[in-house]
Structure 1
Amino acid sequence: MTHPTDGGRSTRPPSAVGRRRRRGRRFPVAATVAALGSAALCATATVYAVEAVRGCDAPLVLDVAVAPRLAPAVAAVAGRFGRAGHEAGGRCVRAAVRAADPADVATLLSGRALPGPGTRRPDVWIPDSSLWPGRIPAGRRPAVGGPVAATPLVLVTVGASAPVTSWRPVLAADGRTRVRLPDPERDAAGMGVLVVARTLLGGSRDAGASFAALARTLRQGTLGDVRAGLTAAPGRPAVVVAPEQTVREHNRRSPAPAATAALPREGTVVLDHPFTVPRETEASPDRARAARLLERALRERSARAAFRREGFRDPGTASDALPVRALPVPADARIREIAQSWSRLALGSRMLSLIDVSGSMGAAVPGGGTRLQAVAEVSREGLALQPDDTELGQWLFATRLDGSRDWRETVPIGPLGERAGSATRRQLILSSLAALRHERGGGTGLYDTILAAYRHLIRTYRTDMVNTLLVFTDGGNDDPGGPSLDRTLRLLRAARDPVRPVQVVAIGVGPGVDTAALRRVTGVTGGGVYAARHAADIRQIFRTVTARRVCAPGC
């Protein structure tokens, strides 16, 4: 079968094709596309012209997909390569370079997408980082060669006088430092930030919760194009994580003051641009040989000089005045774990909060105040940690709180930043928390309230969010008219939908919480039970609850 980029077979003997070379001429892009056959090209891709050589009518043309930042320099090297008289299988070898988003190529090679009008498998792939091949399953993973060009991730302080030279404020997730970064789902620079976080946070007991809190903060600062973050916005200082080459290119082209980049003192991830050969290419001896010839050309001195002119460093050498301390790239399994964790944590949150207002919630807690006041303080702390696109609603429960029902909806579920009349939903919830009062003599209709709220969340499920039922209570169920524990468990199992997973998470306040029963209830849904004896416990609890999103619903 003729390869899509072969351009047809020659009637001339193959051995004569590569030798009969004369002065070349440059085809326009339209002619290049025709020469590549009928394979459709991505509408947004840049396809670089291929040198045509007289006497070479049926070349073996390698389809080379390159990360956009490096593609122009690789195209220049490929032009010289095509005129150099290389042969494979008796045919002259040429390279057709196109700029291709590494995320799209990785998805294609992983088998998660099929070749179509906008994508095709390349013969050679040069992504911007080894992190991309590391995300491809072992059975499909291409052969990853050495790096072609390098650029480290740097910290750019925008709109502030004091430069940031450490990862510490970036990873703090405390809201004091505004962090902008490329989307880790689409850009290796963004994924590199997550690798740094996992490396520097280490394997401490709190590392998972810290990573979850960081992911929630970083999600609000992701950029479709990191170059958009390099220009200061008035009154909005930020730290932008970007490849050094992007900053250099920005400074060369922008009329604005130059952005100052700093190498973090703890070390950084280096985007290494590995020469990568897919399995299909390796299976073809002629194409595999042609790929090796191109790789050799990309490592020549003239090629390295071309890459340096575009702002890249030589891989593996201190080619610039500032040497780079490169953090190690994790093993492939670890890369996939980090990527999957981000994908889960980057989803929006949708929570329905149930607050116990039974009579016992008026009991005092250590340090002053009542249990209900502690819950209100705990809820305010948790609310402050949620971005405006978090969907949140609030119900109160006791016994017969609303006619024959044990619960009452106080704030319908929806985005915190959404306006409902003259106030946002966040403000409505804060007002409701300030007005909380316990029901004197009221019991705790815990089980039927959980069942009603659980069914409500399944009916109104959002597939693009992590759906959670959050229960604040100080005891166990004491509603004689409600379901028993065993019946509650049976009904929860019957209502559970694997396609619409909803976790039930309970936060107990005070010493009388029936944790054994709550563990059985929450366990049906993959949730958990946490004790908040003091309001100060809330930050750690919310960090832990957020971290559970990585394993939901199978925690």
Structure 2
Amino acid sequence: MRRSILSTEDYSLTRGAPGTGREGLVISPMPPVRPGAHNWRPTAAARAALRGVEVIVSGAHRETGRRARRRNRRARRAVAVVCMAIATVLGTSVYALSAITACSGGVTTLDAAVAPELAPAVSAVADGFNGADHRAGGKCVRVTVRAAGPAGVTALLSGQIPAGAGVRRPDLWVPDSSLWLRLLSKPPRTVGGPLARSPLVAAVPRAQAAGTPGTWTDLLHAAAPGERRSRAVRLVLADPSRTGAGIASLLIARERDGDAAFAAFARSVRESTAPDVAGEFGLAAKAASQPAPVLAVPEQAVWEHDRKEPAAAFHAVYPRDGTLSLDYPFTIVDDRPGARLFERALRGGEARERFLAAGFRDPTGRAPAAFARTSGLSAAPPAVLAEPDPALVRRTAQEWARLTLGSRMLSVLDVSGSMAQPVPGSRLTRLQAIAQASQEGLALQPDDTELGQWIFSTRLDGDRDWRQTVPMGPLGGRIGSVTRRQRILSSLATLRPKPDGATGLYDTVLAAVRYMRRTYRPEMVNTVLVFTDGRNDDPGGPTLDRTVAALRAGREETRPVQIIVIGFGPDVDTAELRRLADATGGSVYTARAPQDILRIFGEATARRLCAPSC
């Protein structure tokens, strides 16, 4: 009793029934084969799949002599076809038998880590390469391809991941961008040119394409925070710490504005940053209609997305002021025998056609022919920007890491009697001007910013010169029925100067710094932000020297809490304030008009580019 599993034109493969003594696989002859009907040969992997499996030619056809030999030859052909079928069922890669038999001297296996979007095409090239007779150093060369995010490989090669941590070091590496190599202080010695290219574009839903700015400069301006008008667009990035597209986006922004503008840009896009390029399309799908989402993505990602989701297609805007491209450099990490052979295969015509078919341009910038027939993409090569030097790439990556750390701020506002004085040229008092600027500055902070608010004068809370008005916590967190952001905005709108209050500056600053040090959050930038219009005039408080000495005594370089002082009006004692700030590595700014305060917020944020050494 046998159950048929599969068959060919020559033989059928059946499984013998249990307990019959024929439990193995049985090959039985079928009607005569046409000449040359089968030319398949099994692979070593397929043979391994059959190892230990009994293959029996049906006893009814055991013959001798020439006829038996003919049957045996046909049986071997049938085994080959069966091996092919089983290998297919088991998901085993199949290669020519001639390549296997040529590997009697051993095999050299190269591990290739490839950017995920290019990995399928590189894997297809590797299949063909492995099926041919490639030898180096007396051994056959085989390549295994795995999709690997470039950030992980970069961390491994830079020593951030210890060698014994169980992370595999590749022999060959194809990151999405050569920018990763510029982040390494000691990049691999052998770095070839690009295998493919994909320029960075601004992708928008096709219905919104007509109104999208046509240059990066205009696009960044339309997405800029701090404007009194609403933002025209919401720029979405892939995480620069994980993707080449994200790093390239930062470099484009970095080259167009100064430190303060770049700091504001980084802080504003932090909330609309996706883990990867695919995640950008996901964020756009969930976004509200306004402001319109604009994705900074590689051209190939638009091609891939529109192929899979034509009903939600995007249009690629090619900035006229130039762009950067992902360039997929072939990199030999460990120069083992056969690496150059595989590079040659990846630069051959067949590989190039595979990359074009996957939506990539070739190394010269030539686009797939399909682009000319695809709405929303252009086959013409885009304008290019100069490649950034390694020092700029490293600095920009470090700046992003600093700027996107969470912020934890204690805002300390002076409500002494002098804050009731009018601001020349306006209808605002000093306190109203500071409150108004603070409300606008609050709009620049994301919901995960932790913020608390104190006010100070003299004897606001018994003998204490300060009083907490809003407890520390995330702006998006709730305090009763409202968010902390709403509570702070409401508090700022209702602040009133204490008519007979003096300025208890020293003991308030010392108490604020001690509170922030006591509740320090190492994963955040911890700051005391002081607004005042004058100088300390509390005779019952500590002296300036005692205050400075106490601030220095509690200072820890590994747990920095900086004081940032914004002095407003003509009565500010800058020298006094600078001594307080210097004791914590902080800074002092002076403002004469309300609009100066908002500018100072941007400059204070930009200090994070060099903190804590500046």
Map 1:21-32 onto structure 2 (within 5 A).
25=43, 27=45
* Structure 2 residue corresponding to 1:340, chosen from 375, 395, 398: 398
Question: 1:60 deviation in Å?
Answer: 0.8
Question: 1:144 deviation in Å?
Answer: 2.2
* Structure 2 residue corresponding to 1:200, chosen from 238, 242, 256: 256
* Structure 2 residue corresponding to 1:494, chosen from 553, 569, 580: 553
Spell out, residue by residue over 1:86-114, the C-alpha distance to the aligned partner (whole angstroms, 9 max, x if none): 22211111111111111111111110002
1:210 aligns with 2:261: yes
Work out the CA distance in 2 between the residues paired with 1:427 and 1:271. Answer: 43
The corresponding residue for 1:292 is 340
Work out the CA distance in 2 between the residues paired with 1:198 and 1:23. Answer: 57
The corresponding residue for 2:184 is 136
1:167 aligns with 2:226: no
Closer/same/farther in 2, CA of residues 512 and 27 from structure 1, 3 Å limit: farther
Spell out, residue by residue over 1:294-333, the C-alpha distance to the aligned partner (whole angstroms, 9 max, x if none): 1111111111111001110001234352212222221112
Spell out, residue by residue over 1:385-425, the C-alpha distance to the aligned partner (whole angstroms, 9 max, x if none): 21222111110011111111110000011111211111111
1:182 aligns with 2:238: yes
Closer/same/farther in 2, CA of residues 24 and 152 from structure 1, 3 Å limit: farther
The corresponding residue for 1:5 is none
The corresponding residue for 1:156 is 203
Which amino acid letter does the alignment assign opposite residue 100 of structure 2? Answer: R
Closer/same/farther in 2, CA of residues 387 and 350 from structure 1, 3 Å limit: same
Spell out, residue by residue over 1:63-87, the C-alpha distance to the aligned partner (whole angstroms, 9 max, x if none): 1000000001111111222233222
> Does 78-87 or 263-272 show the bigger shift?
78-87
Is this contact kept in 2: 1:352–1:470, CA < 8 A? yes
**Larger RCO (CA under 8 A, 6+ residues apart):** 1
Is this contact kept in 1: 2:268–2:444, CA < 8 A? no
Closer/same/farther in 2, CA of residues 224 and 290 from structure 1, 3 Å limit: same
Is this contact kept in 2: 1:525–1:553, CA < 8 A? no
The corresponding residue for 1:307 is 355
Work out the CA distance in 1 between the residues paired with 2:532 and 2:136. Answer: 73
Question: 1:258 deviation in Å?
Answer: 2.1
Structure 1 or 2, whichever has the larger Rg, is 2
1:534 aligns with 2:593: yes
1:235 aligns with 2:289: yes
* Structure 2 residue corresponding to 1:425, chosen from 455, 474, 484: 484
The corresponding residue for 1:219 is 270
Question: 1:536 deviation in Å?
Answer: 1.0
Question: 1:122 deviation in Å?
Answer: 0.3
Work out the CA distance in 2 between the residues paired with 1:551 and 1:141. Answer: 29
Is this contact kept in 2: 1:156–1:163, CA < 8 A? no
The 3-state SS of whatever aligns with 2:528 is strand
Is this contact kept in 1: 2:111–2:143, CA < 8 A? yes
Which amino acid letter does the alignment assign opposite residue 489 of structure 1? Answer: V
Closer/same/farther in 2, CA of residues 71 and 27 from structure 1, 3 Å limit: farther
1:484 aligns with 2:568: no
The 3-state SS of whatever aligns with 1:352 is strand
Which amino acid letter does the alignment assign opposite residue 180 of structure 1? Answer: V
Work out the CA distance in 1 between the residues paired with 2:603 and 2:190. Answer: 39
The corresponding residue for 1:54 is 100
Work out the CA distance in 1 between the residues paired with 2:148 and 2:501. Answer: 64
Work out the CA distance in 2 between the residues paired with 1:152 and 1:218. Answer: 21
Spell out, residue by residue over 1:344-391, the C-alpha distance to the aligned partner (whole angstroms, 9 max, x if none): 111111111010111111222212322111111121121122122211
Work out the CA distance in 2 between the residues paired with 1:519 and 1:160. Answer: 50
Gapped runs of 5+ residues in structure 1? 1-21, 32-46, 202-206
Work out the CA distance in 2 between the residues paired with 1:345 and 1:502. Answer: 16
Is this contact kept in 1: 2:237–2:274, CA < 8 A? yes
> Does 496-505 or 362-371 show the bigger shift?
362-371
Spell out, residue by residue over 1:115-152, the C-alpha distance to the aligned partner (whole angstroms, 9 max, x if none): 467621000000000011111123x5453221011111
> Does 323-332 or 445-454 show the bigger shift?
323-332
Is this contact kept in 2: 1:151–1:245, CA < 8 A? yes
* Structure 2 residue corresponding to 1:350, chosen from 404, 408, 415: 408
Which amino acid letter does the alignment assign opposite residue 343 of structure 1? Answer: A
The corresponding residue for 1:367 is 425
* Structure 1 residue corresponding to 2:471, chosen from 408, 412, 424: 412
The 3-state SS of whatever aligns with 1:470 is strand
Which amino acid letter does the alignment assign opposite residue 167 of structure 1? Answer: W
- The TM-score, its normalising length taken from structure 1, stands at 0.87
The corresponding residue for 1:253 is 308
Question: 1:224 deviation in Å?
Answer: 2.1
Question: 1:49 deviation in Å?
Answer: 4.9
1:84 aligns with 2:132: yes
Work out the CA distance in 2 between the residues paired with 1:131 and 1:440. Answer: 59
The corresponding residue for 1:98 is 146
Q: Once the two structures are aligned, what percentage of the paired residues are identical?
A: 55
1:383 aligns with 2:442: yes
Work out the CA distance in 1 between the residues paired with 2:166 and 2:218. Answer: 40
The corresponding residue for 2:228 is none
The 3-state SS of whatever aligns with 2:311 is coil
The 3-state SS of whatever aligns with 1:505 is strand
Work out the CA distance in 2 between the residues paired with 1:176 and 1:540. Answer: 21
Question: 1:199 deviation in Å?
Answer: 2.3
Gapped runs of 5+ residues in structure 2? 1-39, 50-90, 226-230, 369-378
Work out the CA distance in 2 between the residues paired with 1:119 and 1:135. Answer: 19
The 3-state SS of whatever aligns with 2:491 is helix
The corresponding residue for 1:39 is none
1:512 aligns with 2:567: no
The 3-state SS of whatever aligns with 2:237 is strand
Work out the CA distance in 1 between the residues paired with 2:193 and 2:415. Answer: 63
Count of aligned positions: 505
The corresponding residue for 2:613 is 554
The corresponding residue for 2:247 is 191
Question: 1:527 deviation in Å?
Answer: 1.3
The 3-state SS of whatever aligns with 2:458 is strand
Closer/same/farther in 2, CA of residues 260 and 161 from structure 1, 3 Å limit: closer
Spell out, residue by residue over 1:411-466, the C-alpha distance to the aligned partner (whole angstroms, 9 max, x if none): 01111121111111111111111111111222111111111100111111122211
Which amino acid letter does the alignment assign opposite residue 387 of structure 1? Answer: P
Which amino acid letter does the alignment assign opposite residue 144 of structure 1? Answer: V
* Structure 2 residue corresponding to 1:326, chosen from 378, 381, 384: 384
Which amino acid letter does the alignment assign opposite residue 349 of structure 1? Answer: S
Is this contact kept in 2: 1:503–1:552, CA < 8 A? no
The 3-state SS of whatever aligns with 2:441 is helix
Which amino acid letter does the alignment assign opposite residue 260 of structure 2? Answer: A
Closer/same/farther in 2, CA of residues 101 and 529 from structure 1, 3 Å limit: same
The corresponding residue for 2:317 is 262
The corresponding residue for 1:16 is none
Which amino acid letter does the alignment assign opposite residue 310 of structure 1? Answer: A
Closer/same/farther in 2, CA of residues 216 and 26 from structure 1, 3 Å limit: farther
Is this contact kept in 1: 2:416–2:456, CA < 8 A? yes
The corresponding residue for 2:10 is none
The 3-state SS of whatever aligns with 1:546 is helix
Closer/same/farther in 2, CA of residues 77 and 367 from structure 1, 3 Å limit: same
Which amino acid letter does the alignment assign opposite residue 256 of structure 1? Answer: A
Which amino acid letter does the alignment assign opposite residue 235 of structure 1? Answer: S
Is this contact kept in 2: 1:59–1:92, CA < 8 A? yes
The corresponding residue for 2:328 is 273
- The TM-score, its normalising length taken from structure 2, stands at 0.79
Work out the CA distance in 2 between the residues paired with 1:248 and 1:196. Answer: 22
The 3-state SS of whatever aligns with 1:178 is strand
